Each structure stands twice: as structure tokens, then as C-alpha cells.
Structure 1
Amino acid sequence: MEYDFDELDRRVIHALERDARNTSAPDIAEEMDVSPGTVRNRIAKLEDAGVIRGYHADVDYERVEGRLTNVITATASASERAHLAQQALDVPGVVQVREVMSGRGNLAVKVVGTDTDDLSRLARKLTNVGLDIEDEALLQDEHYRPYGPFGPGAADDASREPFGRGADDEVIAVTVEADAPLDGKTLQEANEAGLVGEDVLVVAVERGGATITPKGDTTLRADDLVKVYSSTSVPTDTLDAFRA
């Protein structure tokens, strides 16, 4: 079943890809002007949907007693690929198996050994499992970065809408009235005061013919036209905060 993404989902994924260990729900919430509870709920939904499949340590095995990392390219029949991938993963010393959509070389197996003899032993074990080894190479280094289109500022790209709309999603444009509870408050203050619902995002502020990208320190003023988004429906309490 396809997961229906919105901008908050993208930013959650980007933040966790960047540094899952040192990124907390409040950190993401501050960037997106939502509550930490909303972020935690989104993370749980992404995990339940199988979008976020896990969190793994990035280990430099060379610093662990000088161990060596080898990348082995192997081939398995299309019908046996998934089964043999799991069997390969069960071999002690194998730390990763990737299935590739190709004819030959459709499995990439990363193995860690104490020395070259140990790597040769692991290659033989993989052959015994049933893999046809095509190539082997010592891994020099790996480099990672989060997926750019999910990062800050990507939603400004005119090529796509910032939110993936679902059947129950709602976007409402509402004007801030003078002396309303939100008049003169920053979005962060509004969230802290509970004036904006947990599942509501302020996605744009139009003022004097210009569109402002909302941030935590953005102050709402009387006559601002504010676009708010909710994955269900915008609560009445939130709409009341715009009215005097």
C-alpha cells in the first residue's frame, strides 16, 4: 500500500537520514512549527508503514583491529534471489546484502574479515550457499547524505506541491483579525500556547501581496492571509484563534 506523503513526512525522513542519533522530535518540530507529539506520531506511522525500516550504526571496521571490508558481487536466479539473499545474510561476517534488479550481479554482499584469508573463507561460504560470485573488491570508504528533495527549501520548488494531498486532507486560507488570539504572536508562541492544533501546519502567510515562508519566529499580524493544513480537518479551536 502506497504511503501518502506530505511535507512533514519528507522533513522527518531527511532529518533522520542526516543524523538519526542526535535528532529529536522537538528539533524537527521546531523547524516545522508543529508539536513534538505530532512529529513522534509521524515517525511511528512511517515505521508502521515500512517506510522507515530501521536505524543502523555506520561502523568503520578498519578502526576495529584493522579489519577489512569486502564488497562481493554475486548472481542468483531471479526466483531464488530473495531466498539466497537471506541465507547469505545469515553467514557470520556478512553485514549487508543488497538485491539489485539486473541479470548478472544481482546481489551485492558486504563482508567483514580479520584479514585476506578470512575474506576468502567468507567468499567460499557464500559460494556454498549457492551464490555465483562475479567479482570482489576491498571497500575503501563509504559516503552518505540525506535525500535532497526531502530537505528544507525543497518544498519551494515550483515543480511540485509542498504537500501530498490525501482524500481527507484539508487546506484552509484564513485571515488574522485584529486583536485575535494569534494577532502579534509568533508561530512558536502559538504552538506553545496551544492555539494551533497538533496536527495543523501553517504552510504559507500572505502579507501585502507577498508570500512568506513560515518559520518559528514568524509573527502573525492582523490582515495576514494564512494557509493552514491538516491531514484530517482543521479544528474549530484553531480557526477560532484567528478571530477576534
Structure 2
Amino acid sequence: MASAKLDQIDRKLLEILQSNGKITNAQLSKEIGLSPAPTLERVKKLENAGIIESYHAQLDRQKVGLGVMTFVQVTLSGHKKSITETFVKVIERVPEIIECHHVTGSCDFLLKVIAKDISSYQTLIMETINEIEVVASTQTMVILSTFKSSKVLPVP
């Protein structure tokens, strides 16, 4: 898919909105040097084009009681489309799996999983992920600390 043609103002809008999704249109227009109406029009254009996908609050996972975060490498029993679809259909229904990436290398999928504690995580792995009929093996990496976790994309 071809990337959208963005001018300097669009790039600045995206940079500001990624850093502060709650900014008012008045403040946004002041920061980019346009009046409010054209600013709002540009934001709507970026939303309608699917460049801006959503706005949401970022939560402190530990303050809401989610103390364990892991990466899980998953190897499937084969590479047929039906096997992949079976796996994806199940993991889409598991709220603790917050990211799922189909990857190359020594495994087939890389999952980012969040849980209340190690016991909850163990239950999730043993009773949900490892019970998916097409899962051949899993390997867990517990995240001890995170030094960078940016949600801001560097718009070229």
C-alpha cells in the first residue's frame, strides 16, 4: 500500500496529536499556525484517510493491577493457512494478549501478554495458550523493566 502524501503541516499535526490526543482544536491551530476551521478540516481528512486510526488513554498497567508483562514466542504445528487462522481466531478473544505479531525466525508468532501476577500468567499459558490445538510450543520472556516504550511514530 502506498503511503499518503503528507505536507509539513500534516506532519506537524500528527506529531502533536500523537503526543497529546486531548489537545483542543484551538490550541492545535495555534501551534501549527492555522485558524481553527482549516485545522479541524485537516484533522478530519487525516482521520477519514485512516492515517489517524484512533484516540485512546494510555493506562499505567501497574496502577490498574497488571504487574506482569511478557513476550511469548509461539511455534505452531504447521504453516497451513487454516492452522494460522485457527490460532489467530483463539488469541483474538484473549484480552491479556495485547499484541500479536506473525514473524519470521525461530518462531511463528510473538505475543505481548499482560497479567495480574505470575500465577495468573501461568494459568493463562497452561489453560489457554498451550491448549490451542495448533500450538506446538511456547517460550516466555518476562519483561523485567522497560526503558523505552513510545507510541509515537516518526512520520517521514
Q: TM-score, normalised by structure 1?
A: 0.50
- CA RMSD after TM alignment: 2.8
Q: Kindly indicate whether residue 101 of structure 2 is the aligned counterpart of residue 99 of structure 1.
A: yes
Q: Deviations over 1:98-153 (max 9, x none)?
A: 32442433433222222212101212312223444233323523522634556xxx
User: Relative CO higher for 1 or 2, CA cutoff 8 Å, sep ≥ 6?
Assistant: 2
Match of 1:47 in 2: 47
Match of 1:144 in 2: 150
Query: Equivalent residues in 2 for 1:1-244 (5 A)?
Result: 2=2, 3-21=4-22, 23-65=23-65, 67-76=67-76, 77=79, 79=81, 81=84, 84-85=87-88, 87-94=90-97, 96-124=98-126, 125-129=128-132, 130-131=134-135, 132-138=137-143, 140-141=145-146, 142-144=148-150, 146-148=152-154
What secondary structure is seen at the aligned counterpart in 1 of 2:123?
A: helix
Change in CA separation of 1:8 and 1:137 when aligned onto 2, cut-off 3 Å: same
Q: Which amino acid aligns with 1:111?
A: V
Q: Deviations over 1:36-83 (max 9, x none)?
A: 222222222222222222223322222234632222222454735576
The answer as to whether partners of 2:66 and 2:115 remain within 8 angstroms in 1 is no
Q: How many residues get paired?
A: 148
Change in CA separation of 1:16 and 1:98 when aligned onto 2, cut-off 3 Å: farther
The answer as to whether partners of 1:70 and 1:138 remain within 8 angstroms in 2 is yes
Change in CA separation of 1:65 and 1:98 when aligned onto 2, cut-off 3 Å: closer
Same amino acid, percent of matched pairs: 20
**Counterpart-to-counterpart distance in 2, 1:41 and 1:128:** 49
Q: TM-score, normalised by structure 2?
A: 0.73
Change in CA separation of 1:139 and 1:16 when aligned onto 2, cut-off 3 Å: farther
**Counterpart-to-counterpart distance in 2, 1:16 and 1:74:** 35
Unaligned regions of 5+ residues in structure 2, if any? none
